Amino acid sequence: MEEFELFLFLVHDILLEYGVFLIIALGCYVTMMSGQLSMAHGALAGIGAYATATISYTWGLPPLLGLFAGMLGGVVGGLFLTYVVSFRLFGMYLAIATFAFNEALAVVWRNVDFVGGTLGIVGIKMIDEILPIHIWEPIDDLWILIIVVALVSFFLWRFEMSYLGRSFRATFDDERIAEAMGVNLRRVKMLSWVIGGAIAGLGGALYAHNIGIIRPDNFQIPFSVLVLLAPVIGGYTRFWGVYVGAFIIVFGPHICDWVRDYIGAGLNGNAPETKMMLFRGLYVGVTLWRPDGLADRRGFPRKSVNVFRLISRQHAARAN
């Protein structure tokens, strides 16, 4: 019985991790919907996490306020990226510039003593203190997360069908034709960063409340690449592709851990290294096997868009 309870605790923790990661990845998905390829959503989530940590830990205000502050922080970061990067660059160049934004922000966090410098902030309130809903004590935090995920999913479901969502899609397919059809490109690009930033900031705030500790290292490039991987691995046509991608990314390391146990407890005793090696190998394999994503493409009758072909097209258009 003891072992079974331990297993349930593990599943509970992984589910929390999955929900939080899913929200951040959905933020990345919204930005990618308009063809803006971002490697900065880890950093936007970091802004949200630091915002809620400052509000609920340093100032002692209610954590619910922290969630909204996190969203606001994500919006501010998104606006910065819109005006400085997104209006000026495209394709690969945009990716490198957002990448640099991510690294620069980590340096900033490290050098600001107010948010704890390199050590970060420890002892942030846990998720179940956000809302006063207490149904059954062991899974109170899960309820809150499910509510947030449901709200975000509902928003995305309605959003994709809306005029704005379809103009995002049109911009993704071809910026020139979209503009010729009357889509306001400036507005679409800005809104994709603002909405994506808000969702990523909300996810980052929940991330802080989930693990209780934040450090600058948590929001660096490796995290951003994982966030980006969720839509890319999962599939890109509809938002539920992200659910599949996030599932692989969150459960993948645990599965690799079991595999590592099976093949002999870490070659040379380096357990985390072996786990990460197997996991990265797994996702490289998935990328090489199905570069278009797992969840959609083959077997679906409707014509699907392909983020990769889009980027090559953007570069080819420039070259001609």
Partner 1 sequence: MEAFIQQLINGLSLGAIYALIALGYNLIFGVMNILTFAHGTVVMIGAYTVLIAHEKLGIDFAVAVVLGLAVATLTGLLVERVAVRPIRNNPWAVIIATFGMAIVIEHAMRQYKDIPARPVPFPSPFEHTYFYLFEGARVSLLQLGIFSIGLVLMIGLLLLIYRTKMGMAIRAVAQSPHIAETMGINLRKVAIYSFAIASVVGGAVGILYAIYYQSIYIHVGSQFLGLKGLVIVIVAGAGNIPGSLITGLMLGVLEALTIGYIGSEVRDLVAYSTLFLVLIFRPSGLFGEQARVEFKV
Binding residue (CB under 8 A) for partner 1 from 179, 212, 294, 305: 179
Nearer to partner 1, 16 or 228 (CB): 228
Nearer to partner 1, 4 or 262 (CB): 262
The footprint of partner 1 on residues 194-233 (CB under 8 A) is 221-222, 225, 228-229, 232
- Is 175 one of the binding residues for partner 1 (CB under 8 A)? yes
CA distance 53 to 123: 9
Question: Binding pattern to partner 1, positions 89-118, x when CB under 8 A?
Answer: xxxxx-xxx-xxx-xx--xx-xx-------
> Within 13 Å of residue 40, how many CA atoms lie on the same side as its CB?
33
Binding residue (CB under 8 A) for partner 1 from 268, 298, 301, 302: 268
- Is 189 one of the binding residues for partner 1 (CB under 8 A)? yes
**Cβ at position 174, least distance to partner 1 in Å:** 10
Token pair for 274: 């072996």
**Cβ at position 9, least distance to partner 1 in Å:** 28
The footprint of partner 1 on residues 113-142 (CB under 8 A) is none
CA distance 314 to 174: 9
Helix H, strand E, coil C: the string for the chain is: CHHHHHHHHHHHHHHHHHHHHHHHHHHHHHHHHCCCCCCCHHHHHHHHHHHHHHHHHHCCCCHHHHHHHHHHHHHHHHHHHHHHHHCCCCHHHHHHHHHHHHHHHHHHHHHCHHHCHHHCEECCCCHHHCCCCCCCHHHHHHHHHHHHHHHHHHHHHHHHHCHHHHHHHHHHHCHHHHHHCCCCHHHHHHHHHHHHHHHHHHHHHHHHHHHCEECHHHHCHHHHHHHHHHHHHHCCCCCHHHHHHHHHHHHHHHHHHHHHHHHHCCHHHCHHHHHHHHHHHHHHHHHHHCCCCCCCCCCCCCCCCCHHHHHHHHHHHHHC
- Is 68 one of the binding residues for partner 1 (CB under 8 A)? no
Number of residues that bind partner 1 (CB under 8 A): 58
- Is 72 one of the binding residues for partner 1 (CB under 8 A)? no
- Is 307 one of the binding residues for partner 1 (CB under 8 A)? yes
- Is 256 one of the binding residues for partner 1 (CB under 8 A)? no
- Is 259 one of the binding residues for partner 1 (CB under 8 A)? no
Binding segment (CB under 8 A) for partner 1, from list 41-49, 57-65, 242-250, 273-281 = 273-281
Question: Binding pattern to partner 1, positions 227-246, x when CB under 8 A?
Answer: -xx--x--------------
Binding segment (CB under 8 A) for partner 1, from list 18-26, 56-64, 162-170, 182-190 = 182-190
Return the amino acid letter for 268.
N
Instruction: State the residues that interact with partner 1 by CB under 8 A.
Output: 37, 84-85, 87-93, 95-97, 99-101, 103-104, 107-108, 110-111, 175-176, 179, 185-186, 189, 221-222, 225, 228-229, 232, 267-268, 270, 273-274, 276-277, 280-281, 283-284, 287-288, 291, 307-309, 311-312, 314-315, 317-319
